Chains A and B, each alone.
Chain A
Amino acid sequence: MIQLFHVTKTYPPKSQALTDVHLEIGKGEFVFLAGPSGAGKTTLLKLLFREEEPTEGRILIDGKNITRLNSRGIARLRREIGLVFQEFKLLPRLSALENVALAAEVVGMPRRESQTKAYQLLREIGLRDRYDAKPLTLSGGEQQRVAIARALVNDPLIVLADEPTGNLDAEAADETMRLFLKIRENGTTILIASHDLELIKRYGSRVIALRQGRVADDLHRVQQEGSVG
């Protein structure tokens, strides 16, 4: 699903964020991107949703080369990727439902249909009673769940999450991770950047460790069901 071939990203004048990264992530995999701050986690995610362009190398998403895309191509790519951020990135003037529906509407889904789908998603993630609440009246965990619902509304192939539990307490972080695992059951590839080792230990079935912009480790292990529930 995600393939990186010798990808390097350099920021001018000479700051090398990623060096010769070679990776393959299959469909439906649940992967943690681990590493300390400045290791290149966020840069790697930004390359995948084409916020940034690689300086060298090639990136394929679902077999399509996304290395050089025009603005139209970038918009099309992002419709296939759900994005979740640490700071939620919700619009405060819109309700939870409207925030989720907006993502569907801007890619051409009729308003009524997008609202129905948004409501279904909010119900599935346990926010049925809070659909008309404004984000600032929701807790951090609830806001992140709304953001996840928004990421899912266009049925993406991949969900990319950058420190999604960074602003959440332990309980809300667990809830969020359980939600990601549930999403994965539908075959969606999940890639989560995090520096929270505890969380990675508990939920990571595959952990790619970055250090100073290079892949330092790529660990596969069997998920311990007990630690998830």
Chain B
Amino acid sequence: MSLFVFGAFMLLQENLQHFLTGLGDQIRINAYLEKGLGTSDVQSLGVRIKTFPEVERARHISQEQAWLDFSAALGAQSSLLDGLPRDALPSSFEILLKPAYRDGPVVEDLANRLKKEKGITAVEYPQEWIDRLSLVVLAVQWTKWFLGGVLFMAAFFIAGSTVKLAILARKDEIEIMQLVGASEELIQAPFVLEGMIQGIAAGAVSVVGLWSLFRFLDRQVASSVGLFGASAQLQFLDLKSIALLLAIGWLLGAAGSLFALRRFVRTWKS
């Protein structure tokens, strides 16, 4: 059960991360250019911007394009622009950041450096949006570690208790083995092995349970979050995460049984 809950949390975290990565694509810096900048100047500025390590893509938006985009954004109200000259809006570079750099302070620092570039008059970026996004990512990361820790402990003791029952059932056998001079390792080995097998089996059952849950949610929820586009599509745990879940089960089973066995033998001897 603990592994299932832990796995469910991994699933949630992976999907949330995926979702946030998708939203991160919308974090863009707009660098507005001086009026009357020549084509070669614009081109060299574009090349210069792309040399920044944080920048994934930089797209030049001409004054004409800016006008068209704005007009399209206004939709039915585009008539408001009637009477204004077509070069009323400045040309700009729309800069998309690499995922690793979509973080509040990094974006602010890059914006400050861009402002110092010759030919750029102003830099705009969604400060509040970035801050919130960073906060959500941070909260997810911390919750993951906190909940992960609590669940590890729970699974550890549950595995220990399960093995304790097996130990109790074979108390006489352990005692006899001790009396005839069996080594500690030989006595512990079958219980640790049993713990490992149970741990892996619990991990496998959790993966199957999570897959069923995922299929159910995928059908039920996908349509309601469809407005977020592709980034909101649910994703199942990747192979690495499944292997991690099985490995955690294996490790918890082994450690839990060893812990229970040592505690049991100590209590029994005293």
Contacts and interface: CB of A to CB of B under 8 A. Distances in A.
Contact of A79 (B175, B181, B184, B186): B181
Contacts of B223: none
A49 interface: yes
Interface string A87-104: 001010000000000110
Interface in A54-104: 71-72, 75-79, 83, 89, 91, 102-103
Contacts, number: 44
B184 A150 contact: no
Given A89-B172, A91-B173, A83 B179 contact: yes
A154 B182 CA distance: 12
B183 A102 contact: no
Contacts of A102: 176-177, 180
Contacts of B183: 71-72, 75, 106
Nearest to A150: B180
Contact of A89 (B176, B184, B186): B176
Contacts of A78: 178-181
Nearest to A106: B182
A104 to B, nearest CB: 9
A89 to B, nearest CB: 6
A216 interface: no
Which residue, B173, B177, B181, B183, has most C-beta atoms of chain A within 10 A?
B181
Which residue, B173, B178, B182, has most C-beta atoms of chain A within 10 A?
B182
A176 B120 CA distance: 105
Interface residues of A, number: 17
B125 to A, nearest CB: 65
A103 B172 contact: no
B179 to A, nearest CB: 5
A88 to B, nearest CB: 10
B184 A103 contact: no
Given A78-B179, A89-B179, A103-B181, 10 more contacts: A76-B181, A79-B180, A83-B180, A91-B173, A102-B176, A102-B177, A102-B180, A106-B180, A106-B183, A106-B186
26 contacts: A49-B179, A71-B183, A71-B184, A72-B183, A72-B184, A75-B178, A75-B181, A75-B183, A75-B184, A76-B181, A78-B178, A78-B179, A89-B176, A91-B172, A91-B173, A91-B176, A102-B177, A102-B180, A103-B180, A106-B180, A106-B181, A106-B182, A106-B183, A107-B180, A107-B181, A150-B180
